[in-house]
Amino acid sequence: MAVRGTASQRRGRGDESDTDDDGSGQPQAGSSRQRQQQNGGRAGDNANKQQRDPELEALKLDKPDKTLRHLFLQTLMSRKVIPLDTAKTLYKEQCRLCKVQQPDAFETFIAELEPGLSLCGLDIKTTRNQETGVPYIALVNTIEDDVSKLATDYKAEEIALFRAIVEKIMTAPKLSYSTTQTEAVRLAKAPVTKAMAIQLLKSFLAKGWLSLHSSGRLTLSPRSLLELAPYLRETFSQGTQEDDDDTPEYERDRTVVDCNLCMTIVTSGYACPNKRCGVRLHTYCATQRLGNDGRCPDRLDETKEHPCQQTWPRDSSTRKFYGVPVGISAVEDVVGSDDDNGAGPDASSMMASSSAVKTQPKKKAAAAAKGGKKKAAPSKKRGRAAEVDDEDEEDELDDDEDASSRAGGTSSPTAPRKRSSRTAARRGTAARMSEDDDDDEE
C-alpha cells in the first residue's frame, strides 16, 4: 500500500514544482507563478478597456468627420503651438474617439481644414525650433485689423511692454537676438510696475509668445516668429528704400534676414563669414545648403553681378560647416568684445570707487577731531542706501542668470566680473555722496 504524504509535504512538492532546479528557491522566468501574475495584469487591462468601450459605444455621432475637425481645432486653439509628432498622435487618438473608420492622412486632413480657416482669418502653419530643429504646427492669425488687435487678453500697456521686449530682442548687439530677464523687467513703464512685469513675463512664456533658453535669456518663440513675421519685417527691416538712413554698413548686420534655404526669419544659426554678404542659415539648414564644399550659396544667385564666393570654415571634429554665430551662441562674443575695451566706463568706475574707499578714513578722522557729532540727513542717506540695495537685488538676479548661463554653457565667465565692477562702482559713488553731505554739514 502506497504511503501518502502529509498535507504539508504535498504543499511543499507543489511549491517546488513552481521553481527551477537551480536551488535558489525563487520563481524564475517562465514559471507558473509568474505567468499567473502576467495573466492577471492582462486581465486587469482588458477589464479597464471593457469599461471604457461601453462609454465610447454610448456616444452617438451623426457626423464623425465633422466632430473630428471640431475636436482637433479646439486642441489647436487651446495649445496654439504643438510639436508635429504630438499633433499626429493627438489626431490618431481623436480619430479613434470619433470612430472614424478610414481617416485621411494627417497632411491631407490639415489641407482640408485650411480653406475654411482662411475665411476666418486663420491658418495652420508649420515651423521649426531654431535651436533644436524640432518641427511644430501652429494656428496663427493672418489678418491685421483693429478687430484682431482687440481680440487679446492683454491691456494696452501690457502690449506696449511686449513690444518693447520684442524690440530689445531684435536689436540686441552682435546679432544675439536675446535679452536677460532683468533687462526685460526694466523696460516696464507706468502704470506697469516691476512686480506686474515679472508676472507678465511668466504669462508671455506660458502662452508661447516668448521662450526661455537654458542660459536664462529670453528669445522669440516659434509662435512669435510665425504670427509676428509681418510685423517684424515691417518694423525692423533696414535699407528697403534707397533714402533709408538706417541701412547698416555691412549686409551681414541687417536685423531681419531670411534663411537662404527655408526662407523664414533667422534669429538663431549662422551668418556668412563675409561681412559684405547677407546670407544666413539655420543650424539644421546649413548642412543641406552648403553641401560638401562649403561654398556660400550666394554664388547661386544669378541676379547679382558679383555674388559671394566665400568658403565657410569646417569643424575638424564634427566635419560640419559653420559661420558667424547668430542668436544665443553670439552672447559670448558680445561679452568678450565689451571686456576688450580696456579702461572703459567700468574700469574708471572701479578706480573711482577704490580712491573713494582710500580717502574715507581720513575724512572720518578729521570730523572726529572737530568734536562735533554729525547728524547727516537721514532721509537722503536712507534713500541712497535703498537705491543701492535695489540695484544690488537686480545684480543678484543677474548673478542667478549667470549661474544658469554657466549651467547651459552659453555665456562667458567674464559677465559676473563685469556686474561686480558695476556694483562696486555704485557703492563707491554712494559713499562719496554721503561724505559730501557730511562735509557740507561741517
The domain that holds 184 is classified in CATH as 1.10.10.10
**Assign residue 327 a region: left if phi > 0, alpha if psi is -120 to 50, beta otherwise?**
left
User: Tens digit of pLDDT for each residue in 374-416?
Assistant: 444 444 444 454 444 445 545 555 555 555 544 444 333 333 3
Give the global pTM.
0.64
Residue 41 is assigned to a structural domain of this protein:
no
Q: Which residue has the cell 568678450?
A: 336
The pLDDT, as a whole number, for residue 186 is: 95
User: What does the pLDDT average to over 66-90?
Assistant: 92
Answer whether residue 72 shows pLDDT above 70.
yes
Banded pLDDT at 417 (limits 50, 70, 90): very low
Stretch (H or E) spanning 220: strand 217-220
Strands 179-180 and 217-220: antiparallel
The pLDDT, as a whole number, for residue 247 is: 79
Beta bridge partners of 135: 128
Separation between Cα atoms, residue 81 and residue 221, nearest integer Å: 10
Higher pLDDT: 302 or 419? It is 302
Residue 259 is assigned to a structural domain of this protein:
no
> Number of structural domains, the chain?
3
User: What does the pLDDT average to over 36-49?
Assistant: 53
Are both 98 and 164 inside the same structural domain? no
User: What does the pLDDT average to over 11-18?
Assistant: 48
User: What does the pLDDT average to over 304-331?
Assistant: 92
Banded pLDDT at 427 (limits 50, 70, 90): low
Answer whether residue 282 shows pLDDT above 80.
yes
What is the residue-wise DSSP string for 287-307?
Answer: HHHHTTTTB-GGGG-TT-SS-
The pLDDT, as a whole number, for residue 160 is: 93
Answer whether residue 164 shows pLDDT above 70.
yes
Are both 166 and 210 inside the same structural domain? yes
Enter the DSSP assignment of 267. S
The pLDDT, as a whole number, for residue 420 is: 45
User: Tens digit of pLDDT for each residue in 79-130?
Assistant: 889 999 999 999 999 998 888 888 899 999 999 999 999 988 889 999 998 8
Enter the DSSP assignment of 102. S
User: What does the pLDDT average to over 319-339?
Assistant: 77
User: What does the pLDDT average to over 21-47?
Assistant: 51
Q: Which of the listed residues 233, 268, 297 is the one where a domain comes to its end?
A: 233
The pLDDT, as a whole number, for residue 344 is: 37
Residue 129 is assigned to a structural domain of this protein:
no
Are both 358 and 414 inside the same structural domain? yes
The pLDDT, as a whole number, for residue 89 is: 95
Stretch (H or E) spanning 394: helix 378-408
Are both 167 and 224 inside the same structural domain? yes
Are both 105 and 156 inside the same structural domain? no
- Order across the sheet with 324-326: list the strands: 280-281, 269-271, 324-326
User: What does the pLDDT average to over 178-187?
Assistant: 96
User: Tens digit of pLDDT for each residue in 232-274?
Assistant: 999 998 765 655 667 788 889 999 999 999 999 999 999 999 9
Higher pLDDT: 135 or 348? It is 135
Are both 422 and 355 inside the same structural domain? yes
**Do residues 290 and 321 touch, judged by C-beta distance below 8 A?**
yes
Q: What is the signed CA dihedral for 260, 264, 270, 276, rounded to 10 degrees?
A: 60
Helical residues (DSSP H) of 120-261, grouped into ranges: 146-150, 156-170, 181-186, 194-206, 222-227, 229-236
Cis peptide before 115 (omega within 30 of 0): no
Separation between Cα atoms, residue 342 and residue 345, nearest integer Å: 9
Banded pLDDT at 353 (limits 50, 70, 90): very low
Q: How far is CA 298 from CA 278, 356, 421, 438, in A?
A: 8, 57, 44, 67
| Nearest residue to 224 (alpha-carbon basis) of 172, 175, 170, 263 | 170
As a whole number, the mean pLDDT across the chain is 74
Beta bridge partners of 125: 138
**Do residues 314 and 321 touch, judged by C-beta distance below 8 A?**
yes
**Assign residue 269 a region: left if phi > 0, alpha if psi is -120 to 50, beta otherwise?**
left
Q: Which of the listed residues 194, 218, 233 is the one where a domain comes to its end?
A: 233
Cis peptide before 345 (omega within 30 of 0): no
Answer whether residue 352 shows pLDDT above 70.
no
Banded pLDDT at 357 (limits 50, 70, 90): very low
Strands 210-212 and 217-220: antiparallel
Q: Which residues constitute the domain of residue 169?
A: 152-233
> How would you label 108-137 residue by residue, b for 16+ Cβ within 10 Å and e otherwise?
ebbeebeeebeeeebbbbebbbbbeeeebb
Banded pLDDT at 3 (limits 50, 70, 90): very low
The pLDDT, as a whole number, for residue 296 is: 95
The pLDDT, as a whole number, for residue 259 is: 95
Report the sign of the C-alpha dihedral through residues 279, 283, 285, 291, in that order. Answer: positive
Enter the DSSP assignment of 328. G
Answer whether residue 37 shows pLDDT above 70.
no
Query: What one-letter code names the amino acid at 39?
Result: N
Banded pLDDT at 53 (limits 50, 70, 90): low
The pLDDT, as a whole number, for residue 48 is: 52
Q: Which residue has the cell 511549491?
A: 15
User: What does the pLDDT average to over 292-301?
Assistant: 91
User: What does the pLDDT average to over 137-152?
Assistant: 72
Beta bridge partners of 159: none
Residue 241 is assigned to a structural domain of this protein:
no
Banded pLDDT at 291 (limits 50, 70, 90): confident
Q: Which of the listed residues 107, 123, 139 is the one where a domain comes to its end?
A: 123
Helical residues (DSSP H) of 207-344, grouped into ranges: 222-227, 229-236, 283-290, 331-339
Provide the grid cell at 223.
509662435
Residue 224 is assigned to a structural domain of this protein:
yes
Answer whether residue 299 shows pLDDT above 80.
yes
Answer whether residue 50 shows pLDDT above 70.
no
- Taking 3-state DSSP, the helix, strand and coil percentages for the chain, each rounded to the nearest 5, stand at 55, 10, 35
Are both 379 and 434 inside the same structural domain? yes
Query: What one-letter code names the amino acid at 113?
Result: L
Residue 377 is assigned to a structural domain of this protein:
yes
What share of the chain has pLDDT > 70, as a percent? 58
Are both 347 and 433 inside the same structural domain? yes
Separation between Cα atoms, residue 165 and residue 189, nearest integer Å: 12
Residue 45 is assigned to a structural domain of this protein:
no
Residue 53 burial (CB count, 10 A) = 10
Residue 117 is assigned to a structural domain of this protein:
yes
Are both 180 and 113 inside the same structural domain? no
The pLDDT, as a whole number, for residue 345 is: 37
The pLDDT, as a whole number, for residue 248 is: 84
Enter the DSSP assignment of 272. -
